[in-house]
Chain A
Amino acid sequence: ELKVEQNPLFLSMQEGKNYTIYCNYSTTSDRLYWYRQDPGKSLESLFVLLSNGAVKQEGRLMASLDTKARLSTLHITAAVHDLSATYFCAVDNMDSNYQLIWGAGTKLIIKP
């Protein structure tokens, strides 16, 4: 079964701490996307990772992709309350006309 697994699914952390969200996928793909969703809001694109070893950073968020391990990580450095959101990863399924397969999302709560 083709699937994308995120863990943890829920994370509560203190401001100032570092943490990593993991996204494992089972399909053949070299393209991975991270999206952010604030409560009750829409999704917005954060990062697009297009090749093995790709690393993208914006502010306190850094995403990386290892296509051989079929793993992407989203690392949060010195978390701040404004980063509280649900983070989704999605993968292009190369075996199925590049349809996106979505993870279940990681709900991140950062306490002041």
Chain B
Amino acid sequence: DSGVTQTPKHLITATGQRVTLRCSPRSGDLSVYWYQQSLDQGLQFLIQYYNGEERAKGNILERFSAQQFPDLHSELNLSSLELGDSALYFCASSLMGSGANVLTFGAGSRLTVL
């Protein structure tokens, strides 16, 4: 157990639907990152939050949004889902927002869009 908790672990839904993925960072970590990993693909950085504020934005679609709450947990909202959104979504956390810091990854949420 890495200390980063992601729910749900698996999710199957239909095109056009909306889902919310949840992440609780490791205790003491202030920064949360969201990544998308499609089958046999590398990691695509979506967005980063640090202590409740958006710190950096990557290749996140307009249909996707995220936020980090005062208790530091984060949610990634995916709407108007398409088949191509099927992927493994990872949340990671770190102590600092920048600088030398190691990311601790959660187990991921596997999303299947049918």
Contacts and interface: CB of A to CB of B under 8 A. Distances in A.
Interface residues of B, number: 19
A26 interface: no
Contacts of A76: none
A45 B108 CA distance: 15
Interface stretch (A13-21, A59-67, A77-85, A94-102): A94-102
B100 A45 contact: no
Most chain-A Cβ atoms within 10 A of its Cβ — which of B42, B45, B90, B106?
B42
Nearest to A41: B107
B42 A102 contact: yes
B43 interface: yes
Interface of A: 31, 33, 35, 41-45, 48, 50, 88, 92, 97-100, 102-105
Given A43-B92, A43-B103, A50-B100, 20 more contacts: A33-B103, A35-B103, A41-B107, A42-B2, A42-B108, A43-B43, A43-B90, A44-B105, A45-B102, A45-B103, A45-B104, A48-B100, A97-B56, A98-B98, A98-B99, A99-B48, A99-B56, A103-B42, A105-B42, A105-B43
Interface of B: 2, 42-43, 45, 48, 55-56, 90, 92, 98-100, 102-108
